[in-house]
Chain A
């Protein structure tokens, strides 16, 4: 009886592995196909003659290295700042005694509900006034602001669960609150930080609408521009898009697997303790 149950569970899980992993395989096959093969659109077909030119073309025409650098740059700065700002705020909200703490949390949670497209035009006007259009700041600043709500949501949940004794004893030893934050709270909070890292990364890495609107110079464009550059007015270069997507997805997958061991623990570590 138990073994039958086990068998059913394993079968179910195995089926899910196939359905969830298939897109990756599909994408890799896709990236070696000719336009005709792609458009004939068979679901399982292998490419007849793997077309490596997709990769060389995508690499050259898509400005891969420049875009990759810009994407990494913007994403990493955003991640670092989000973590610093969000953990500071989360710390203040979850550990300090002040009346407005719940209000502050609510204000930040409100940010989760705001659709990014609605802020496009007001941000454009603002950036034009403070003259940061077409610089990396015009991406980094809104990215940070839009990622902090989730980060604070997760981090404050975690920090609430940290035992008070730790801070109290540090206080006894005469440590300042900044010191406690830096040398005690931050190190303990590594798991949720990892979670915030991966969520921020996923949300920003593929972001295109803000980037396309605020950035005009080749020098600052990010990877999603590369994908879209193969779509011209009356034609689409599918094979190149596929190749470019593979090249764009590789860093994501790498980073994800580096961090994933951490995040499964960190995601909601705090929430359970409530």
Chain B
């Protein structure tokens, strides 16, 4: 409930500086992109032709790489979101069993801080074929499962899953941190009160932790979702979208059309499509959570 009734220009003073900058730097460019998405343009010369929604039509109906990329992008999002309950479980465990949980959570956070260049190099040494010292294949080899050895990042079948795993690993600490903070911020006196009523351990978790954590859970879900839709750097570093488009997601397709194929209008249309998908799903997630929240309280 908002309380303060202030004059309109006070609101202006508080909001406008930020809003103006934001509109200039984020909104105007995306509107320009929206305009460009209606053009046939190589992004270099003065020759811009208005073609209406032709680019969008081509994306939806003629681009053989678009729908597979959408599927991979959404899979990415689903995997990332499935990770959140796991991090919540860990948050609860750490909160219960570890005295200096903060430090532990900080350590788990480490991969988020490191540059994606490092992450990519490291995981390549894990996925590499045996003769390049790949760890997984080395292990498979030593336990006599040679037949399962694969060049993971070069296999159209496994490459994308290999990338999901890296992402899950990297962002584990990020979401753990969010969940852990949420768990910690539930005051202990509530649990004490519950204990008197006979609710203890996991029972207490079910009736106290879970309902109170819902808003935090939502933040994680939204951030995980949006983050994975825009996943780009890691894929570029590790596979570049290959082999033969097997790891392309919407953002890498967009990059390729814009900067490699010199189809600026088409790339802009892909960007707008990505924004729209983001928007639709975020609204969807929000409404689901509203229902859950209402039920819980």
Q: List A residues at the B interface (Cβ < 8 Å).
A: 6, 9-10, 12-13, 16-17, 19-21, 23-24, 26-27, 30, 40-43, 85-86, 88-89, 91-98, 101, 104, 107-115, 117-119, 121-123, 125-126, 141-142, 144-146, 148-150, 152-154, 157, 164, 167-168, 177, 181, 202, 206, 224, 227, 241, 245, 248-249, 252-253, 256-257, 260-261, 263-269, 271-272, 274
Contacts and interface: CB of A to CB of B under 8 A. Distances in A.
Interface stretch (B45-53, B130-138, B153-161): B130-138
Most A C-beta atoms less than 10 A away, residue of B22, B219, B272: B22
B14 A89 contact: yes
B185 A272 contact: yes
B133 A42 contact: yes
A13 B94 contact: yes
Interface stretch (B74-82, B106-114, B141-149, B239-247): B106-114
B275 A115 contact: yes
Given A104-B19, A164-B3, A263-B177, A122 B28 contact: yes
B181 A85 contact: no
Contact of A85 (B21, B29, B215): B21
B4 A96 contact: yes
Interface in B48-76: none
Contact of A9 (B97, B114, B258): B97
B119 interface: yes
Looking at chain B's contact residues, the main secondary structure is: helix
A146 B33 contact: no
Contact of A23 (B105, B106, B122): B122
Contact of B107 (A21, A94, A96): A21
Contact of A89 (B18, B126, B178): B18
Given A119-B30, A126-B28, A272-B185, A43 B135 contact: yes
A204 B36 CA distance: 28
Contact of A96 (B2, B215, B254): B2
Given A19-B169, A89-B15, A101 B2 contact: yes
